Chain A
Amino acid sequence: DAGITQSPRHKVTETGTPVTLRCHQTENHRYMYWYRQDPGHGLRLIHYSYGVKDTDKGEVSDGYSVSRSKTEDFLLTLESATSSQTSVYFCAISPSGGAVGTLFFGEGSRLTVL
């Protein structure tokens, strides 16, 4: 158990509304990631963080922003949700010890934008 909690687990919203997904970790890992998973595309990196207030873009960052004000929380925000952002979103952490550089995933958040 990597100690990662995502919320909400399921959300249905309408086009144009803001949405924030939360990822909470209990083990003080420095690196945290947001991925989306869509059929035919696999897992794609949206944004990642390498410390408090240190974030960077991934390959599919358009339309998303992130914030990390505390080590344990990494927030993903869709400022104005679109139907193309309907997806399953996974938060992940990369541990600093042991299997360095591997990824461990949270349970996922299923977002539907109508």
Chain B
Amino acid sequence: QKEVEQNSGPLSVPEGAIASLNCTYSDRGSQSFFWYRQYSGKSPELIMFIYSNGDKEDGRFTAQLNKASQYVSLLIRDSQPSDSATYLCAVKLGLGYDQFYFGTGTSLTVIP
């Protein structure tokens, strides 16, 4: 069983702060890592993906990957109330059309 673990939260941060979301995975052979955002009652939408160790930045979002520790995180800088959602971590073994394994998500609330 390939497991992806996330703290379910809820995580609350004040507006303008940095939100840090964490995810661990069990299969050391995993190569692709994804963060999705899901608003209540809506479908998941892709925020970022990362394949290599280190950081990847896209606007206010930074994904961090540490394969040795089997850990991937998402930082949201200057958090906004519109960032309030559930964030899903997903892991894939390969770089192509392989099966995704999803965590159960972390609920984030940004307090104005």
Mark A residues whose CB is within 8 Å of B: 31, 40-45, 50, 58-59, 90, 94, 99-108
**How many residues of chain B have a CB within 8 Å of chain A?**
23
Question: Which residue from chain B places its CB closest to the CB of A99 in the assembled complex?
Answer: B49
Could you tell me the distance between the alpha carbons of A102 and B49 in the complex, rounded to whole angstroms?
8
- How many contacting A-B pairs (Cβ < 8 A)? 51
Could you tell me the distance between the alpha carbons of A40 and B102 in the complex, rounded to whole angstroms?
11
Chain A residue contacts of B44, Cβ below 8 A: 43, 90, 105
A90 & B43 in contact (Cβ 8 Å cutoff): yes
Could you tell me the distance between the alpha carbons of A42 and B106 in the complex, rounded to whole angstroms?
11
Chain B residue contacts of A43, Cβ below 8 A: 44, 88, 90, 100, 102
Known: A31-B97, A94-B97. A101 touches B92 (CB 8 A): yes
Could you tell me the distance between the alpha carbons of A27 and B108 in the complex, rounded to whole angstroms?
33
A42 & B95 in contact (Cβ 8 Å cutoff): no
Could you tell me the distance between the alpha carbons of A99 and B48 in the complex, rounded to whole angstroms?
10
Using an 8 Å CB-CB cutoff, how does the interface string of B31-58 with A read, 1 for contact, 0 for none?
0101000000011111001000000000
In the complex, besides A90-B43, A100-B96, 17 extra interface pairs with C-beta distance below 8 angstroms are A41-B104, A42-B4, A42-B104, A44-B102, A45-B99, A50-B97, A58-B99, A90-B44, A101-B95, A101-B97, A101-B98, A102-B46, A102-B49, A103-B34, A105-B44, A108-B42, A108-B43
Question: Which residue from chain A places its CB closest to the CB of B98 in the assembled complex?
Answer: A101
Could you tell me the distance between the alpha carbons of A50 and B84 in the complex, rounded to whole angstroms?
35
| B60 CB to nearest A CB, Å | 20
B14 at the interface (CB under 8 A from A): no
A42 & B49 in contact (Cβ 8 Å cutoff): no
Question: Which residue from chain B places its CB closest to the CB of A38 in the assembled complex?
Answer: B104
